[in-house]
């Protein structure tokens, strides 16, 4: 099985050259005081060491052993507890947390890169910490000062962890149907009763307390989603900063899953468990969306991490595995067979995977940049624009990153041929671990509906126009800039211009069909995919300009490789956008024509 090698060169290039974080952080006082490029590089280097040397070696053994359930007690695989202790001791649980409560206060742009390395190293292990980070975000944004001071320091330190409790046996996407009840008691808290399913990290042995964020309904709650409130429910009660008595929170079972087997996916039972209201009554879904949107980006990054790990294994294997003779200059005439890296189809699979991974990484950083601006900037115009872009792009990130992540793991597995199907090489685990990312935290179909229904049609394309106009302005700047005569860049920017023009027309078409629910529902996924490829074209143009500029002062082969991957993307992957466009233009008549009983 391939050892994980953190892609630090690409990460540092994106931060410093493509997104110019030195100037960005200097222009935002709150970040200028907390971080600089050298510190960021040092943090990523240490994070990479942690991921590769401590966490990655537990990935295969954790998958084979899995989380174990025994009469309400969940035990994580051998080595997980010790690794988590070291993870927490290093302060990684609070990397992007609020410094007022013990967090490190690092920008999200650093956080997404650290998360990617962790997911690449060991997805199951990483899920325990990312759920905690999301819960901290929601608690910090909506909790009372007493709740924040009582719980955030221990969550940031890793002494405690957290879970997100939404889904019930009868209620998945439609949370308005939940039955969990919250009854006010005489202590100023609430008695929470109900059952939640599919709860990641709902029970485990990594730390001494688990803090559950639970959606429930008060007795006088309004019907549907308007009646949902959010509550903090500790596994063990807390008084005066000390753990006291169990809180009637129990794990009924854990799921037996296709992948992420070392991550405990729990059925959680609450039996008059003491809970504390977070935010306003009846506003729980809005509060929980603070956590859910964080987790959706995080799960998107899971797709990137699995794809990166898969690529590293496939690339290494393709350069060593001898099979058949190559054609043309790439073959070695002194040997009976060439490494399979010389064969066109293998190169297609590897280049597709690498273009997927690196385009996704850049787009994740772009979205993280908006999150940092919205959180830290003191410029209200910039903050408003950033919030619009975050709302628009979060569903794209979750769905597109994870779709491409699965594609990348499958292509990488295919490079191995029969060996890819064998456990010892690690590819089949990556395929299994990546698959869930398209399903949980809102299936990718739901993300697509969110994008086209809520983020485009519902606001008449206003947020989309902000993104589209930014891209068109970027193209205009290139055409009048110093690199306008560069033939390689000219070709890329021509493709980008065609792509955003096509997406503009497609968006206008969808807006014109906005009153037809079948058109919205039936075309949502194709629209998201068309949107995703256009967005990646923007990322690859940004990346390519930076690579050309860097070549003036460096002959680092990494820079030329970056341009070659960009050219592959524009030649072989961006054309997929037009396939989705043609499908949408054809309408949904053929999709809706068949009677239900004919399926």
- pLDDT tens digit string along 335-370? 789 999 999 999 999 999 999 999 999 999 999 999
Collapse the DSSP code of 198 into the 3-class scheme (helix H, G, I; strand E, B; otherwise coil) and give the result. Answer: strand
Residue with the two structure tokens 């109900």:
194
Q: Is the pLDDT of residue 152 over 80?
A: yes
Active site residue 187: no
The string of pLDDT tens digits covering residues 539-551 is: 999 999 999 999 9
pLDDT tens, position by position, 259-270 = 999 999 999 999
pLDDT, position 407: 98
Q: What single DSSP character describes residue 168?
A: B
Q: How far apart are CA 185 and CA 170, in angstroms?
A: 27
Q: What's the rounded Cα separation, in Å, for the pair 124 and 118?
A: 10
Q: Report the pLDDT value the prediction gives residue 291, as an integer from 0 to 100.
A: 83
**What average pLDDT score do residues 126-137 get?**
96
CB 220 within 8 A of CB 183: no
CA 463 to chain centre: 21
The CB-side HSE value for 152 (13 A sphere, CA atoms) comes to 26
Separation between Cα atoms, residue 131 and residue 145, nearest integer Å: 21
Chain centroid offset of residue 394 CA: 9
Task: Give me the pLDDT at residue 397, please.
Answer: 97
Distances from the Cα of 92 to the Cα of 140, 204, 292, 555, angstroms: 18, 19, 21, 35
Average pLDDT of every residue of the chain: 96
Residue 332 pLDDT exceeds 90? no
* Residue 391 token pair: 């709302």
Say which of 441, 497, 519, 567 is annotated catalytic: 441
Global pTM reads 0.97
Phi, psi for residue 588 in degrees, rounded to 5: -110, 10
Task: Report percent pLDDT > 70 for the chain.
Answer: 100
pLDDT digits (tens, 9 = 90+) for 34-76: 899 999 999 999 999 999 999 999 999 999 999 999 999 999 9
Confidence tier at 293 by pLDDT (50, 70, 90): confident
Binning pLDDT at 50, 70 and 90, where does residue 313 land? very high
Residue 329 in this model has a pLDDT that exceeds 90:
no
Query: DSSP class of residue 4?
Result: P
Q: For 178-225, how does the pLDDT look when each residue is reduced to its tens digit (9 = 90+)?
A: 999 999 998 899 999 999 999 999 999 999 999 999 999 999 999 988
Give the pLDDT of residue 54. Answer: 98
In angstroms, rounded to a whole number, what is the distance separating the alpha carbons of residues 412 and 252?
37
Rounded mean pLDDT, 83-93:
97
Looking at residue 221, the DSSP 8-state letter turns out to be P
Q: What residue segments make up the domains of the chain, in order of their start?
A: 444-590
The residue written with tokens 């899953």 in the block is: 257
Query: Residue 282 — left, alpha, or beta (φ > 0 → left; ψ -120 to 50 → alpha)?
Result: left
- pLDDT score at 172: 76
In this structure, what token pair is assigned to residue 355? 């273009």
Asked if 128 contacts 66 with a C-beta cutoff of 8 angstroms, the reply is no
The pLDDT confidence band at residue 334, using thresholds 50, 70 and 90, is confident
Contact assessment for residue 305 and residue 241, using Cβ atoms and an 8 Å cutoff:
no
Q: What's the CA angle centered on 455, arms 305 and 402, to 5 degrees? A: 15
- The per-residue pLDDT for range 416-441, each reduced to its tens digit, is 999 999 999 999 999 999 999 999 99
What one-character DSSP code corresponds to residue 459? T
409 vs 363: CA distance, rounded Å: 19
Q: Residue 304 to residues 90, 105, 345, 426, 591: CA-CA distances in angstroms? A: 24, 24, 22, 16, 32
Give residue 175's pLDDT.
83
The pLDDT of residue 494? 98
CA distance 366 to 553: 25
d(CA 13, CA 559): 9
Scanning the structure block, which residue is given the tokens 């059952």? 195
- pLDDT band per the 50, 70, 90 thresholds, residue 520: very high
Please choose, from the candidates 349, 256, 353, the residue with its C-alpha nearest in 3D space to the C-alpha of residue 306: 353
Report the alpha-carbon distance of residue 351 to residue 347 in Å, rounded.
6
Q: Helix or strand or coil: residue 556? A: coil
Bridge partners of 165, per DSSP, are 214
| Predicted confidence band of residue 2 (pLDDT cuts 50, 70, 90) | confident
Residue 328's pLDDT is 78
- Separation of CA 238 from chain center: 32
What is the number of other CB atoms lying within 10 angstroms of the CB of residue 123? 30
| pLDDT score at 599 | 96
Q: Is 468 helix (H, G, I), strand (E, B) or coil?
A: helix
Please give the radius of gyration of the chain, using alpha carbons only, rounded to the nearest integer. 24
């Amino acid at each position: 099985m391939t050892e994980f090698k953190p892609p630090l060169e690409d990460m540092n290039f994106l931060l410093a050259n493509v997104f110019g974080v030195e100037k960005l952080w200097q222009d935002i006082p709150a970040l200028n005081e907390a971080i600089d490029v050298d510190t960021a590089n040092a943090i990523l280097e240490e994070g990479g060491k942690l991921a590769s040397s401590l966490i990655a070696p537990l990935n295969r053994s954790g998958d084979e052993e899995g989380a174990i359930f025994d009469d309400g007690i969940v035990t994580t695989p051998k080595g997980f507890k010790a690794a988590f202790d070291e993870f927490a001791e290093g302060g990684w649980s609070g990397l992007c947390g609020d410094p007022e409560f013990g967090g490190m206060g690092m920008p999200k742009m650093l956080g997404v890169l650290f998360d990617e390395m962790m997911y690449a190293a060991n997805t199951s292990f990483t899920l325990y910490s990312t759920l905690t980070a999301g819960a901290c975000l929601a608690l910090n944004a909506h909790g009372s000062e007493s709740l924040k001071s009582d719980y955030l320091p221990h969550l940031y330190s890793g002494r405690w962890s957290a879970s997100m409790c939404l889904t019930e046996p009868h209620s998945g996407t439609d949370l308005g149907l939940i039955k969990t009840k919250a009854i006010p008691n005489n202590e100023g808290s609430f008695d929470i009763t109900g059952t939640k399913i599919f709860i990641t990290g709902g029970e485990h042995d990594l730390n001494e307390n688990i803090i559950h964020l639970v959606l429930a309904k008060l007795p006088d709650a309004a019907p549907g989603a308007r009646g949902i409130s959010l509550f903090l429910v500790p596994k063990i009660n807390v008084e005066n900063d000390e753990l006291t008595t169990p809180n009637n929170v129990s794990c009924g079972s854990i799921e037996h899953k296709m992948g992420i087997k070392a991550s405990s996916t729990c059925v959680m039972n609450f039996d008059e468990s003491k809970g504390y209201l977070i935010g306003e009554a009846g506003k729980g879904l809005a509060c929980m969306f603070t956590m859910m949107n964080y987790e959706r980006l995080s799960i998107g990054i899971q797709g990137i991490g699995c794809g990166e790990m898969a690529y590293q294994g496939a690339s290494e294997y393709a350069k060593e595995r001898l099979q058949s003779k190559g054609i043309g200059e790439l073959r070695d005439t002194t040997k009976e067979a060439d490494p399979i890296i010389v064969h066109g189809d293998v190169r297609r699979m590897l280049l597709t995977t690498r273009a997927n991974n690196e385009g996704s990484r850049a787009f994740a950083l772009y979205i993280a940049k908006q999150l940092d601006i919205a959180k830290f900037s003191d410029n209200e115009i910039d903050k408003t624009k950033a919030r619009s872009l975050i709302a628009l792009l979060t569903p794209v990130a979750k769905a597109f990153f994870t779709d491409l992540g699965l594609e990348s793991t499958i292509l990488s597995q295919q490079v191995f041929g029969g060996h890819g199907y064998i456990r010892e090489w690690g590819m089949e685990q990556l395929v299994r671990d990546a698959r869930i990312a398209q399903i949980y935290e809102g299936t990718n179909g739901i993300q697509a509906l969110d994008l086209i229904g809520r983020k485009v049609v519902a606001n008449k394309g206003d947020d989309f126009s902000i993104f589209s106009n930014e891209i068109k302005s970027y193209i205009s700047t290139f055409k009048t800039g110093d690199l306008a005569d560069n033939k390689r860049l000219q070709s890329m920017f021509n493709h980008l211009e065609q792509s955003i023009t096509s997406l503009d027309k497609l968006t206008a078409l969808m807006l014109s069909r906005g009153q037809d629910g079948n058109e919205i529902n039936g075309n949502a996924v194709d629209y998201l995919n068309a949107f995703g490829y256009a967005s990646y074209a923007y990322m690859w143009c940004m990346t390519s300009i930076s690579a050309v500029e860097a070549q003036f002062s460096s002959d680092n082969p990494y820079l030329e490789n970056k341009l070659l991957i960009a050219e592959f993307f524009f030649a072989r992957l961006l054309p997929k956008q037009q396939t989705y466009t043609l499908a949408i233009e054809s309408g949904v008549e053929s999709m809706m024509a068949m009677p239900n009983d004919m399926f």
